[in-house]
Structure 1
Amino acid sequence: MTGTGGAVDGWFPRPVRRAGATWQLYCLPYAGASASAFRRWPAAFGAEVEVVPVKLPGREGRYAEPLTLDPVAMADAIVADAGPRFALYGHSLGARLGYEVTRVLVERGDRLPERLFVAAGRPPDERGDGPLDNIAGLPRDQLVARVVAAGGMPAELLDAPDLIDLLLPVLRADLAWLEAYRYEPRPPLPVRVTTFAGESDVAVPPGQLAGWQRHTDAGLRAHRVPGGHFFLHDTLDRLAALIRADLHTARTGGMPSHAAPRRPAGHRVPLGETGWSVWRDALLRGTGFPAAGLDRFAAPDLAATADPLIKLDPQRAVTDAGFVAAYQQAVERGSQVAAELAADPLLREAVGWQNRNALTGLDHLLPGRGTGRPSKRRERETALIRYWQRYCGKNDTIGFFGPTCWVTVDPELPEVAVVEPGSGLTRRRRVHYETWALDAYAQRLADDPATRRWLPVVVSPEIHWDGRLAYRPAQPPVPLSAAAAAVLSAADGRPAVEVVAELSTAPESALRRDEDGYLLLDGLVRQGLLRWGADLPLHPDAESVLRLRIAAIGAEPERSAAQRGLDRLDAARDAVAAAAGDPDALRDALGALAETFEAVTGQPAQRRAGQTYAGRALCYEDTDRDLSVVFGRPLQDELAGPLDILLRAARWLTVALADAYGQALHELYRELAAEPGPVRLSDLWYLAQGPLWGGGDRPVDAVAAQFAARWAGLFGATGDGPVQRSAAELAPAVAAAFPAEAPGWSAGFVHSPDLQICATDVAALRRGDYRVVLGEMHVAWPTFDCAVFTEWHRDADALRTALAADLGPGRVRLLYPPDWPRHTGRVAHSLADADDVHLGVAPGPVAGIGGHVPASGMLVEERDGALVATDPAGRQRPLVEVFSALLAMHAVDGFKLLAPAEHTARLSIDRLVVSRETWRTTVDRSGLAAARGDAARYLAVRRWRAELGLPERVYVKVDTEIKPFFVDLTSPQYAVALCNAARGARTRAGRDVPVTVTEMLPTPDECWVPDAAGQRYFSELRLQITDAEAIDG
Structure 2
Amino acid sequence: MTAVEWTVQAGPVLLDVRLLPWFLVRAPGHPIELVDALSSARLLDMADELIVMERALNTHEREFLDEHWPALRRVAKSDPERAPAPFRELLRAYRRIESGDPLDDRANRALTAAGVTRWAEEWNLLLGRRDTARTKAAQELAAASSDAYRQVARAFDEPSLRHAVFLSNPGFYRNALASGPLTDRLGNGAGPPRAARRRLATAHRYLRRFTTRCETVAFSGPTLFGRFSPDQAEPLHVGRPGPPRVSVEASVWAVDLLERHLTSITPLAGRRAWRDPTFRRLPGKDILERTVDGRRLKVPADLLQLWEGADGRPLGEIARDAGIGEEALLDALRRLSRLLTVSGHRSAATELHALDALAAADRPDGPATALRSVRNVYAAEPWPARADRHTAAEEVIAGLGERPDLEGRHYADREVFHEDWSSPYSERVTIGGPALDGLRRALDAVLPMTYLAALLAREDAREVVRYALRGEGAPLARLAAAALEPQWPRVERMRAALAGLVRDGHAAGGVAALTSQDVADAVADLWELVPEADRADPCLPSPDLMAVGEDLATATWVLAELHDDCSSVFGGLERTVHSRPDLLWREFEDAVRDLVPAETMATIVSRRRSAHVTPELPGASIELSGLSARPRAETVPIGEVTVPPDATTAIVRGAPRRLYPGDLSSPLHRALALPALTPLTVEIGAHTPRITIDGVVVQRARWRVRHPGTPAAEAVERWAAMHRLRVEHGLPRRVFVRHPAEPKPLYIDFADPLGVDDLARMREGELVITEMLPGPEELWWRVDGRAQCAELRLGCLISARTKGPHDDSRA
Which one of 579, 594, 597 corresponds to residue 381 of structure 2?
579
Partner of 1:543: 355
Q: Does 1:602 align with 2:401?
A: yes
Q: CA deviation at 1:1021?
A: 1.1
- Over 3 Å counting, the alpha-carbon distance change for 1:541 and 1:577 in structure 2 is closer
Aligned positions of 1:887-898 closer than 5 A: 895-898=679-682
2:477 to 682, 707, 714: 682
Quickly say closer, same or farther: Cα 1:611–1:876, change in 2 above 3 A.
closer
**2:212 pairs with one of 393, 398, 413:** 393
Paired position in structure 2 for 1:774: 559
Task: Give the AA of the match of 1:270.
Answer: W
Distance 2:38 2:664 in 1: 45
Letter matched to residue 228 of structure 2:
V
Cα deviation per residue 1:874-916 (whole Å; 9 max; x = unaligned)?
2233699999874577986963241362101111123311111
Aligned residue in 2 for 1:154: none
Q: 2:439, 2:249 → 1: CA distance?
A: 38
The offset of 1:529, in angstroms, is: 3.5
Contact between 1:271 and 1:278, CA under 8 Å: does it hold in 2?
no
Aligned to 1:874: 654
- The question of 1:853 aligning with 2:672 is answered no
Do 1:460 and 1:531's aligned partners in 2 also have CA atoms closer than 8 Å?
A: no
Give the deviation of 1:735 after TM superposition.
4.6
Counterpart secondary structure, 2:492: helix
| Distance in 2 of aligned mates of 1:373 and 1:366 | 10
Q: Structure 2 CA distance, aligned partners of 1:528 and 1:699?
A: 35
Structure 1 segment 719-738 matched on structure 2, within 5 A: 719=507, 721-727=510-516, 730-731=519-520, 735-736=524-525
Q: What whole-Å deviation, never above 9, does each CA across 1:782-827 have from its counterpart, x for those lacking one? A: 5535412332443221112112222331422112135xxxx42x22
Partner of residue 182, structure 2: 366
What do residues 121-165 of structure 1 show as CA deviations (whole Å, max 9, x unaligned)?
Answer: xxxxxxxxxxxxxxxxxxxxxxxxxxxxxxxxxxxxxxxxxxxxx
Structure 1 residue 346, shift from structure 2 partner: 1.8
Give the distance between the partners of 1:639 and 1:724, measured in 2 at CA.
18
Unaligned runs of 5+ in 2: 10-14, 58-99, 102-129, 805-811
Q: CA offset at residue 954 of structure 1?
A: 0.9
Structure 2 match to 1:707 = 494
Q: What is the CA-CA distance between 1:839 and the residue it aligns to?
A: 2.0
CA deviations over 1:951-1000 (Å, ceiling 9, x no partner): 111111112322211111111111121123x22xx4xxxxxx32011111
1:503-555 deviations in Å (ceiling 9; x for gaps): 3xx3xxxx3x302113312431x22344434121223232343245x1xxxxx
Structure 1 Cα separation of the partners of residues 369 and 555 of structure 2 = 52
Task: Judge which range, 452-461 or 272-281, deviates more.
Answer: 272-281
Candidates 906, 928, 931, aligned match of 2:690: 906
Pairing of 1:739-888 with structure 2 (within 5 A): 748-760=538-550, 764-765=551-552, 768-779=553-564, 782-784=567-569, 786-793=571-578, 794=580, 795=583, 796-810=585-599, 811-818=601-608, 823-824=609-610, 826-830=611-615, 832-833=617-618, 836-842=619-625, 850-862=633-645, 869-871=650-652, 873-877=653-657, 886=666
Look up the SS of the partner of 1:423 in the other structure: coil
Call closer, same or farther: CA 1:280–1:454 in 2, change over 3 Å: same
CA spacing shift, 1:935–1:329, aligned 2, 3 Å? same
Cα separation, partners in 2 of 1:717 and 1:920, compared to 1, 3 Å: same
SS in 2 for 1:996: strand
Deviations 1:270-329 (A, max 9, x none): 267874332222222112101222202111112222332235489975994322321221
CA deviations 1:454-478 (Å, max 9, x no partner) are 2211112222224411221214122
Please list every run of 5 or more consecutive structure 1 residues that lacks an aligned counterpart in the other structure: 1-264, 551-558, 692-697, 987-992
Secondary structure in 1 matching 2:241: strand
Q: CA deviation at 1:398?
A: 5.5
**Distance in 1, Cα, partners of 2:778 & 2:742:** 27
- Residue 779 (structure 2) pairs with residue 1007 (structure 1): yes
Answering whether residue 425 of structure 2 is matched by residue 638 of structure 1, we say no
Relative distance call for 1:915 and 1:411 in structure 2 (3 A) is same
Determine if contact 2:688/2:701 at 8 Å carries over to the other structure.
yes
Letter in 2 for 1:936: E
Among 305, 321, 333, the residue aligned to 1:521: 333
Q: Which position in structure 1 is the counterpart of 2:135?
A: 321
Q: Which amino acid aligns with 1:435?
A: V
Q: 1:977 is aligned with what amino acid?
A: D
The code of the aligned residue for 2:732 comes to P
8 Å contact from structure 1 (residues 351, 387) kept in 2: yes
3-state DSSP class of the match of 2:183?
A: coil
Are the structure 2 counterparts of residues 882 and 801 from structure 1 closer, same or farther at C-alpha, using a change threshold of 3 Å? closer
SS of equivalent residue, structure 2 residue 541: strand
Kept in 2, the 8 Å contact 1:434–1:615? The answer is: yes
Structure 1 distance, partners of 2:596, 2:588, is: 12
Question: Does 1:277 pair with 2:94?
Answer: no
Q: Work out which of the residue numbers 957, 962, 978 in structure 1 matches 2:759.
A: 978
Given the alignment, which residue of 393, 411, 417 partners 1:613? 411
The aligned residue for residue 300 of structure 1 is 41
Q: CA-to-partner distance for each residue in 1:702-732, whole Å, 9 max, x for gaps? A: 3442231122344443446212234466555
Q: Does the 8 Å contact 2:464/2:484 carry over to 1?
A: no
AA at the equivalent of 1:423: P
Change (3 A) 1:352 1:999: same
Q: CA deviation at 1:752?
A: 1.7
* Number of the residue aligned with 1:937: 718
* CA distance in structure 2 between the partners assigned to 1:501 and 1:655 by the alignment: 51
1:304 and 1:460 map into 2 onto residues whose CA distance is 65
Is 2:456 the partner of 1:656?
Answer: yes
Counterpart AA for 1:540 = L
Number of residue-to-residue matches in the alignment: 703
C-alpha distance in 2, partners of 1:747/1:296?
Answer: 49
Alignment of 1:491-510 (within 5 A): 491-503=310-322, 506=323
Contact 1:271 1:636 in 2 (8 A): no
- One-letter code of the match for 2:713? R
Q: Which amino acid aligns with 2:727?
A: A
The structure-2 alpha-carbon separation of the partners of 1:719 and 1:1009, relative to structure 1 and needing over 3 Å to count, comes to closer
Structure-1 separation of matches of 2:422 and 2:607: 29
